[in-house]
Structure 1
Amino acid sequence: MEKPLLHIQGLTKSFDQSGPVVNQVGFDVGKNEIFALLGPSGCGKTTTLRLIAGFEHCEAGEVYIEDELVESPQVSLNPQKREIGFVFQDYALFPHMTALENVAFSLREVDRKKRPVLAEEVLCRTGMEKYKHRMPDELSGGQQQRVALARAIAPKPRLVLMDEPFSGLDAMLRDSTRKEVRAILKKSGMSAILVTHDQEEALSFADRIAVMNNGQIEQIGTPEEVYYHPKTQFVAQFLGRTNLFRAHADGTDNVETRLGPVKINREAEGLILCSIRPEHLTLERCKPNGKETGIITGREFRGHDITYHVLFKGDKYIVHTDNRLLFDVDEHVIVKPLEPAVVLNQKA
């Protein structure tokens, strides 16, 4: 198995007596991999990034880059010597420098005469060569973002760190810029870590995701794994809408629920907590006096799909259907699962 580019184990950091903001965090990032730290504000993801960069010093744990120990309680390599590119949330471009000069500034290890040529090459890769003589205030948010990325990757760092780099862009520009930045990183063969609180951003941008909560990582996996197979209630609820329900399992992969018999993704026993995504449920029509029926209490038309809110035997469910499955509010329906429910780990 190929050694990871970045290896982190037991990383811990506190700022006061209220407890660690990063608590025993560990993960690997492979070569040419885009990795996302996803979680709510205050969960410790930006502090983790700053520990990797060397802007903060850890109390416990270790950070290795290409087998080189760069951070531990005893060792803290200078940020400039870690060969890491950092894209800040506000881009942090020098306002008195052109796009070209901003990128050239990061090439301090290169002969002064060669810096403009190399900087222009990197701006070409990011599609910004036409704007090389513009000042930051003459660039749009997306253009500033690409200049900031060019500045980060110009010195050919071992790793690129990005702290909420798309949060200042409007929705349409954010989506297009994300795609462009991902393509640039992949084409350059660079590894990167993205910090974000935006679930859609992490799912669409990263090769793998670590979901953080209260300073700890609750799950690591591909976007498909963490979305379709969450391990905890927090992961299930943070990565989009879900339906949670409890059931008694008898050691098989089938349980009886208020919806009727439901298949689960693994054998379980005892009282369990399950999650099923709204798109893994469907609705069927039934007679108003039919048994085992629910009633539609809300309807959200979204163009390509429709979200229904259903009250079924006292429980509320969310169901996503395609736009051809039409029901009205107050209509009686049957709720049926299309996929197995996921059994969640429960804390003791």
Structure 2
Amino acid sequence: MRSFSGRQVLSDISLTVPQGHITCLLGPSGCGKSTLLRLIAGVDRPDGGRIELNGEPIADDGIFVQPENRHIGFMFQDYALFPHLSVRDNLAFGLKHLDRAARAQRIDEIAGRIGITALLPRFPHSLSGGEQQRVALARALAPQPGILLMDEPFSNLDRGLRERVRRDTTELLHQLGTTAIIVTHDPEEALAIGDMIVLMRDGKIEQQGTPFDIYDRPRSAYAAEFMGPCNRLVGIWRHGEIETPIGRFAGTLDLPEGSPALACIRPQALSVEADGAGISARIVSKTFIGESEQIEVSVHPLFKPLRMHSHERIPMGVGEKVSLRLNGAQIHIFEDGALPLAASEGVRAGPPRS
């Protein structure tokens, strides 16, 4: 647990990080993920609870192991390289316990693994963003920590560079068998690099599991919508299905008959074809985004258009009537009210037609 000025920032956190894997703490700003990282690192103290490393307590009642004695590496969002030290001396900073020969050997070894040997004589101000990121990673890994903590390590990089550095970093951590916890607010990034994802909300864990668990089997509308865009349709729960204006969809809810329920429909669950059989709809917008088209279609009696993604070129233009089809693969059913409407960009529907 952790509170600031009487406000509970973390509560009811129960988490086991698998050894040799990458765990992503995911969530919006202010959800507590960076605070949790700081508690693990020891740069902040919990108000209650217990933190263990390899089965030994490092924070508990009457126990608090100082950060320098936890054998934990920490890579900051801004990299925090010492500007007055060369890259070699930055890497040497955490190796003062080694003699000179062992220190030099370790620096050369980690620099070679990360591919920064040519940068060792240079100073941080002369490095690009990607080079600074790799130096910061090397400095964090040089002492061979038992666990590596990384706070938004790729957020300062441009998109193309970020994807390449992220891929290289992930491959290196897996090659080294490093146990890592990475904080990110980007669900796409978490899905790409995490062996396990811990989705946080308001200081608590909303859901944790593999990327496939979180994306394919979300346990709440919050989880479904955070991991990717959804169309939201409110309907009525009857006979194990939700009835909506565009069809009935089976679920596993334990709700009284006639209760309101919520269907979260991913854009890729929708497709359109020439007007004919299917649900009558009309294209209201088409946006070309390179690898796919984002299309919005209006369907009576929905108050807002449905959004779909297509990797095929749709010949029908804006204003044309089409038939809407659903593949059913990416439709998630929840109790209505699982997520406040103010947090949604989806669809509110009228009552089902008889």
TM-score when normalising by structure 2: 0.89
Q: How does 1:1-348 map to 2 (within 5 A)?
A: 12-17=1-6, 19-252=7-240, 254-264=241-251, 266=252, 268-269=254-255, 270-286=259-275, 292-315=279-302, 316-340=305-329, 341-344=331-334
Post-superposition shift, 1:170? Answer: 0.6
Q: Give me the whole-angstrom Cα distance separating, in 2, the residues matched to 1:75 and 1:343.
A: 45
Post-superposition shift, 1:347? Answer: 5.2
Q: Which amino acid aligns with 1:255?
A: I
2:248 is paired with a residue whose SS is strand
Q: Give me the whole-angstrom Cα distance separating, in 2, the residues matched to 1:326 and 1:38.
A: 38
Q: Give me the whole-angstrom Cα distance separating, in 2, the residues matched to 1:50 and 1:291.
A: 53
Q: Which amino acid aligns with 1:330?
A: G
Task: Check the 8 A contact 2:10/2:204 in 1, yes or no.
Answer: yes
Residue-pair matches, total: 332
Post-superposition shift, 1:61? Answer: 1.3
Task: Check the 8 A contact 1:285/1:333 in 2, yes or no.
Answer: yes
In structure 2, relative to structure 1, the CA distance for the partners of 1:114 and 1:61 (3 Å cut) is same
80-89 vs 306-315, which moves further: 306-315
* Identity of matched residues, %: 37
Q: Give me the whole-angstrom Cα distance separating, in 2, the residues matched to 1:164 and 1:135.
A: 23
Post-superposition shift, 1:112? Answer: 2.8
Q: Give me the whole-angstrom Cα distance separating, in 2, the residues matched to 1:211 and 1:267.
A: 22
Post-superposition shift, 1:267? Answer: 5.6
Q: Which amino acid aligns with 2:71?
A: E
Question: Please, what is the CA RMSD of the aligned residues?
Answer: 1.8
1:123 is paired with a residue whose SS is helix
Task: Check the 8 A contact 1:62/1:69 in 2, yes or no.
Answer: yes
Q: Which amino acid aligns with 2:332?
A: V
Q: Which amino acid aligns with 2:4?
A: F
Q: Which amino acid aligns with 1:299?
A: K
Post-superposition shift, 1:268? Answer: 4.9
Task: Check the 8 A contact 2:278/2:324 in 1, yes or no.
Answer: no
Task: Check the 8 A contact 1:274/1:342 in 2, yes or no.
Answer: yes
2:206 is paired with a residue whose SS is strand
Q: Which amino acid aligns with 2:333?
A: V
Q: Which runs of 5+ in 1 are unaligned?
A: 1-11
Q: Give me the whole-angstrom Cα distance separating, in 2, the residues matched to 1:211 and 1:255.
A: 26
Q: Give me the whole-angstrom Cα distance separating, in 1, the residues matched to 2:158 and 2:200.
A: 25
Q: Which deviations, in whole Å up to 9, do the C-alpha atoms of 1:158-191 show, x marking residues without a partner?
A: 1000001111111111000000110111111101
Post-superposition shift, 1:339? Answer: 2.3
Q: Which deviations, in whole Å up to 9, do the C-alpha atoms of 1:278-325 show, x marking residues without a partner?
A: 1111112215xx884121111111222111111111322111111333
Q: Give me the whole-angstrom Cα distance separating, in 1, the residues matched to 2:50 and 2:227.
A: 29
Task: Check the 8 A contact 1:281/1:337 in 2, yes or no.
Answer: yes
